[in-house]
Structure 1
Amino acid sequence: MAFILLVILLSTDRWAQKDVNPALFSRELMRNSSSFLKDEEVNGDPQILLMKAHAATSSIGSATVIIAVLEKTGTLKIASVGDCGLKVIRKGQVMFSIPPQEHYFDCPYQISSEAAGQTYQDALVCSVNLMDGDMIVSGSDGLFDNIFDQEIISIISESSGVDEAAKALAELARKHSVDVTFDSPYSMEARSRGFDVPWWKKVLGAKLIGGKMDDITVVVAQVKTVAVPEDEGGDIEEQKGNEQSIAISVSSAEQNEE
């Protein structure tokens, strides 16, 4: 394994009403994920990693989660529960994207401390072969509900690196989330699911628009080839093709909505 990418979205409202700090569950789940990363049973499988991390988490709460593990062969393995997202951008186009998991609109699957919640068995599991230069953009629904793919592509192309890109994406998502005049991906999806303004407002030409205020987590990574030794005492050789060794430049940014 060369790299692990972890993104969590908290389910805050329901737990806050029960006087539970919703951050504790997700933080412990991520600590456990990091702890089990090199576990022999995990063996680079993000779904098994999620299973072990969830079983070891004792805090009360719930969260959506996405775990992605990049192998040295260039294969990105993904396990996702809920509506966090991950997109791979190659040469100015989105060439891979994972869909959200929902019970119904705006009610995503969640890993939970409760027996009624989802488990690793409910995870959407997939993989994608990456190439040198590919950009990975992952984040909570607060990102993808408020930014269109073309905006992501534009920011990636205009940014000097992953750090600048992550911060710019988080800031634009925050800006859109509080803009009541912005016809966001969230409002467009809501209308397509049958949600809209009352009929009398429709008569006046109004429609359901605006961003979605939410916690926003963004992780941006770029794939880069690296030189590796042929053996401990040998020369340095750059690996090609399927034997390519992979390095990742990573940055993350967050915006919290009160």
Structure 2
Amino acid sequence: MVVVLQGDKGELCSANIGDSGFLVVRDGSVFHRSEEQQHYFNTPFQLSLPPPGTNSQFLSDRPESAETLEFLVKEGYMLMVATDGVFDNLPDSMIIKEMVKVQGSTDLSLLQQAANSIAQQARKLAFDEDYMSPFARNARENGINAIA
């Protein structure tokens, strides 16, 4: 995942491969969310070089497979870049709730607190066997019962 913000142009440029991603929030709502790239459920695109002689036995993706985007952003938009550990465990609504708490802030300690809160919530819910996470919902939609 590479995200570049060209402030002078007001342009966000990204290249993303796999299941990490980013979320752009405007006025408390999702303005843009990157798409996961998967071959099939729970098998994300990955940059790799299979061992010689095994090419047909491994999924291997090249940098050219990355989804590239360019779009305009304005002052006040918020950007969060995260791994699948966050997006698999927290719905956008929970992430946005924490992000809007620091809307417009340039206080690095407040921004760090929001990031810590998001990470802690994701970790806590990852171990909650009764929680229907976004990942568990996707698993169920693919015929896999992720919660006993």
* 1-structure distance, mates of 2:88, 2:75: 28
CA deviation map 1:140-173 (0-9, x unaligned): 1000000011101111123463211111111110
Instruction: Could you tell me which runs of 5 or more consecutive residues in structure 1 were left unpaired when the two chains were aligned.
Output: 1-65, 197-207, 211-258
Instruction: Could you tell me which runs of 5 or more consecutive residues in structure 2 were left unpaired when the two chains were aligned.
Output: none
* 1-structure distance, mates of 2:111, 2:77: 12
1:179 aligned onto 2:114: no
1:151 aligned onto 2:89: no
Residue equivalent to 1:25: none
The TM-score, its normalising length taken from structure 1, stands at: 0.49
Residue equivalent to 2:42: 106
| 1:119 maps to which of 62, 80, 90 | 62
Report SS of the residue matched to 2:25: strand
* 1-structure distance, mates of 2:61, 2:120: 31
* 1-structure distance, mates of 2:72, 2:117: 27
Report the CA distance between 1:183 and its aligned residue. Answer: 0.7
Identity of aligned residues (%): 33
1:132 aligned onto 2:78: no
Report the CA distance between 1:209 and its aligned residue. Answer: 2.9
Contact 1:102 1:109 (C-alpha < 8 Å) held by counterparts: yes
- What is the correspondence of 1:1-258 to structure 2 with a 5 Å cutoff? 66-71=1-6, 72-114=8-50, 116=55, 117-159=60-102, 161-196=110-145, 208-209=146-147
* 2-structure distance, mates of 1:68, 1:149: 19
User: RMSD of the TM alignment (CA)?
Assistant: 1.6
Report SS of the residue matched to 1:111: coil
Report SS of the residue matched to 2:94: helix
Contact 1:75 1:127 (C-alpha < 8 Å) held by counterparts: yes
Amino acid at match of 2:22: L
Residue equivalent to 1:202: none
Amino acid at match of 1:154: K
Bigger radius of gyration, 1 or 2?
A: 1
* 2-structure distance, mates of 1:74, 1:162: 21
Task: Identify the structure with the greater strand proportion.
Answer: 1
Contact 1:184 1:209 (C-alpha < 8 Å) held by counterparts: no
Amino acid at match of 2:89: N
* 2-structure distance, mates of 1:70, 1:93: 20
Report the CA distance between 1:128 and its aligned residue. Answer: 2.1
Report the CA distance between 1:127 and its aligned residue. Answer: 1.6
Matched positions, count: 134
